[in-house]
Structure 1
Amino acid sequence: MAIFKHPFGRYQIIDRELCRKDWVKTSELVKIIRVELSIDVSNKTINNDINAMRYDSLLGYFAPIEEDKRNKAYFYSDKNYTIKAFGLKDGDINALKFFANTLNQYKEYEVFKDFSNAIEKVLDAVKIRGGLNNFEQAKNVVQTEQTPKLSGSELIPLIVQSLNEGRKIQFEYKKFDEFEAKVVQLEPHLLKEDRHRWYVLGRLEKYNDPTTTYALDRMISVQLLEEKFNPVNFDFEEYYRYSFGITVTNMPHVEVILSFTATQGKYLKTLKIHPTQTEIIDNDNEYRISIKVKPSWEFYEKILGYGNTVKIISPDLVVEEFKERLRLMNEQY
């Protein structure tokens, strides 16, 4: 479906021309729209658009557009008026461009199918307000990290429905290291993304724990059941406070002291390794921090990624576990 069947692009152009000039003929607007939006519209369509801008209560513009009988043209009786006052100001456009680029990477997800046209409107608002003839002509000055569309993302709408309606779901679940799938009935309580993968946390009937975790890309034949459940009073934010990913161990959190090179420290000062990060030493030789975490495989994976720019100072338990992982890595070579 062509985006510009919707009138919002035309409203923007009509408003712009009325702000620029003392008066504008309908035929002139038809030509401008043909050039800028690459569509053909009739004089009647433009007249209908103008009436909508003047009287449509859903739009809410109530634009002070008057007709110049002598010139057979339209003009703003209030020269300070613009429909921009009902939406974006010129200073918001750069922020919109950034947002549009970020949002656009998710538009193929099933959960956004009902909003894909809205996303296109955002992208086209950038185009129109920027005075570009087509989106391909726009200079791409923002490139966001692309999120791969993983298997399981199509289940998000159904799980969101389950969360909103308080209904159980049933599915087959097959772990990567198992040969057979098992049937699971779950009360979903949280949908969470971690490193481009989606997970659902919930409660199994035989347990009170609402944090049993399943990855959507390993779920098969998901069904929304009629059976209802009551939401739990559980603080998931606190639950993940000391985590380093989706995994939360049963061990209490510990304070880990990490020593980085001074150069690596410059990066960690601008992008913390963890929300609990506290600076201990910052000089030309060392950048030392403390973090409070429940060490998991995601934690060790993160630290390993820093290579020889980091050293774990304490506690001994974490140091020994890290040394064991290094030993196993070394055996690979």
Structure 2
Amino acid sequence: MATNKNAMMRYMVLDNCFRNIGRRYFIQDLIDACNRQLHEIDPNSKGISRRQILDDITFMESSEGWSIELTRHRDGKRVYYRYEDPSFSINNMPLNEVEVNQLKTAVEILSQFKGMPQFEWIHELLPKLNQGMSSANEQYTIIDFDNNQYLKGIEHLGFLHNAIYYKKVLKFKYQPFESEAPFDVILHPYFLKQYNSRWFLFGFNPATNRYDWNLALDRMVAIQETEDAYKLNDRINWTDYFDDIIGVTKPIDSKTEAIVLHFPERTGRYVESKPIHGSQKAKWISANTLEVELDLIINFEFERLMLSYGESVKVVQPIFLQERLVQKFKLALEQYRLD
């Protein structure tokens, strides 16, 4: 099957042309029909070539395509194309082998998202897709996402997703790590976010009047729906909310800080290839030192990230962050002092 992104669009257009007995479609007519559809999708498109259309027809006639039965009718020196059976359409054909393999790949990727009831059908669909496929085409998993299916609280994921979708107010029994007993929290759920292999639920908390209150799924002891009226989110655009932070914590009245970091050569190469944050600007100020500039809110997660680099990072500014990390390193060193 042709791999360019507009291939299926062309096949659909050609299919409509081939079964239209009210008009004769010559090769230029087929090109024009595809180009009209393509320009609706992409006004800047340069159009489809004659060779591309001929290749598309060859594919549609092949066993890898739909094995269409196409007749070529002569009209003088020109040829127009039409299905032998005008009632035929590729839309009525079963999936071909290429399409089945493409669908299997997509399904296998989706199957890695555990805990979502919306995806439970996937595990039933895979055996059906395998039916009729030769053993030579047997597929094995060739991609794996960082996904901990044994993560505590992941069983709540589907329920919470539905609560957001159907706008249900929830009551939680919630127990943070530092709390000895669970307590009640009311939340109007808006958004689910994964960070560092943990899931967090964001929403409106009436007790604090905050629209970005978040709860970790692994600290949820119990959940139940309430009959409270759901308060719509008219404050936060979740697409932009996380742009100026790392992780999920955004302190009240926080503002971004200009941060300068120095990394030695080996770590610098790593940070250069995998930026810490979208605001990152990096330059080598010497053969052995990468200077990184960031513009973000300094939160708990960012401090933890800096601590994880150990001796492989130096905070140049802001000074208050430098001093805070120095103090934490001193406390860490105390843990290893021998009596």
Structure 1 regions of 5+ residues with no counterpart?
1-14, 23-54, 64-81
Give the distance between the partners of 1:209 and 1:102, measured in 2 at CA: 36
Q: What is the aligned partner in structure 2 of residue 62 from structure 1?
A: 92
Cα deviation, residue 61, structure 1: 3.1
Give the distance between the partners of 1:302 and 1:17, measured in 2 at CA: 50
Query: Which of 111, 116, 125 is the equivalent residue of 2:120?
Result: 116
For the Cα contact (< 8 Å) 1:162–1:188, is it kept in 2? yes
Q: Tell me if 1:297 matches 2:300.
A: yes
Q: Tell me if 1:271 matches 2:271.
A: no
For the Cα contact (< 8 Å) 2:172–2:185, is it kept in 1? yes
Give the distance between the partners of 1:185 and 1:146, measured in 2 at CA: 28
Distance 1:241 1:139, change over 3 A: closer
Distance 1:321 1:237, change over 3 A: farther
Q: Map 1:229-248; keep pairs closer than 5 Å.
A: 229-233=230-234, 234-248=236-250
Q: What SS does the corresponding residue of 2:267 show, helix, strand or coil?
A: helix
Q: What is the aligned partner in structure 2 of residue 3 from structure 1?
A: none
Give the distance between the partners of 1:56 and 1:193, measured in 2 at CA: 47
Deviation sequence 1:68-93 (CA, Å, 0-9, x none):
xxxxxxxxxxxxxx9449x8498xx5
Q: What is the aligned partner in structure 2 of residue 34 from structure 1?
A: none
Cα deviation, residue 216, structure 1: 1.5
Query: Which of 103, 110, 120 is the equivalent residue of 1:103?
Result: 110
Stretch of structure 1 that moved more, 318-327 or 162-171: 162-171
Give the distance between the partners of 1:56 and 1:19, measured in 2 at CA: 11
Distance 1:274 1:128, change over 3 A: farther
Letter aligned with residue 211 of structure 1: D
Distance 1:301 1:206, change over 3 A: closer
For the Cα contact (< 8 Å) 2:146–2:197, is it kept in 1? no
Give the distance between the partners of 1:220 and 1:236, measured in 2 at CA: 26
- Relative to the length of structure 2, the TM-score reads 0.64
Q: Map 1:2-151; keep pairs closer than 5 Å.
A: 61-63=91-93, 83-84=95-96, 88=99, 93=102, 97=105, 99=106, 102-106=109-113, 108-109=114-115, 111=116, 113-118=117-122, 121=125, 125=129, 131-132=134-135, 135=138, 138=139, 141-151=142-152
Deviation sequence 1:135-162 (CA, Å, 0-9, x none):
5xx4654444342332222222222222
Give the distance between the partners of 2:134 and 2:294, measured in 1 at CA: 49
Q: What is the aligned partner in structure 1 of residue 160 from structure 2?
A: 159
Cα deviation, residue 129, structure 1: 10
Distance 1:89 1:167, change over 3 A: closer
Give the distance between the partners of 2:136 and 2:203, measured in 1 at CA: 49
Q: Tell me if 1:324 matches 2:327.
A: yes
Deviation sequence 1:214-266 (CA, Å, 0-9, x none):
11221122111222223121123333222111111233110111111222222
For the Cα contact (< 8 Å) 1:101–1:144, is it kept in 2? no
Q: What is the aligned partner in structure 2 of residue 11 from structure 1?
A: none
Structure 2 regions of 5+ residues with no counterpart?
1-61, 70-86
Give the distance between the partners of 1:145 and 1:134, measured in 2 at CA: 27
Deviation sequence 1:33-60 (CA, Å, 0-9, x none):
xxxxxxxxxxxxxxxxxxxxxx999xx7
Q: What is the aligned partner in structure 2 of residue 9 from structure 1?
A: none
Distance 1:128 1:252, change over 3 A: same
Distance 1:170 1:257, change over 3 A: same
- Relative to the length of structure 1, the TM-score reads 0.65
For the Cα contact (< 8 Å) 1:105–1:147, is it kept in 2? no
Q: What SS does the corresponding residue of 2:200 show, helix, strand or coil?
A: strand
The alignment yields a C-alpha RMSD, in angstroms, of 3.6
Q: What is the aligned partner in structure 1 of residue 287 from structure 2?
A: 284
Distance 1:123 1:145, change over 3 A: farther
Letter aligned with residue 190 of structure 2: H
Give the distance between the partners of 1:84 and 1:134, measured in 2 at CA: 13
For the Cα contact (< 8 Å) 2:111–2:122, is it kept in 1? no
Q: What SS does the corresponding residue of 2:135 show, helix, strand or coil?
A: coil
Q: What is the aligned partner in structure 1 of residue 55 from structure 2?
A: none
Q: What is the aligned partner in structure 2 of residue 25 from structure 1?
A: none
Cα deviation, residue 19, structure 1: 7.1
Q: What is the aligned partner in structure 2 of residue 310 from structure 1?
A: 313
